[in-house]
Amino acid sequence: AGNVWEWCSSLYKEYPYNPDDGREDPSKTGYRVIRGGGWDSLSLTLRCALRSYYDAGSYYPSYGFRCAKSHESNIIEDYNQTKGTE
């Protein structure tokens, strides 16, 4: 939260969340979820839990996305390697 509203891949649909209702299908069109508030938002809106929507084909300077990469790791194994034990 804070710098830009974060685009999410989900189509906007009312809660409760149901992953089988088509909202996670990237080929479907419609409004996409945005979260978190941006640099031009009121402080009240600067929180990750805030959820809204916007047309993904539109542009607004305070809408963006977060780059992330999964990392698969065995935490115990990594810890043991740093301590020199297995």
Is residue 60 within 8 Å of residue 34, measured between CB atoms?
no
Query: Which positions ≥6 away from 54 have C-beta within 8 Å?
Result: 5, 31, 32, 34, 60, 63
pLDDT tens by residue, 41-64: 888 888 888 899 999 888 888 888
Of residues 56 and 21, more confidence is placed in 21
Q: What is the pTM of this model?
A: 0.68
- The CA radius of gyration of the chain, in Å to the nearest whole number, is 18
Amino acid at 73: S
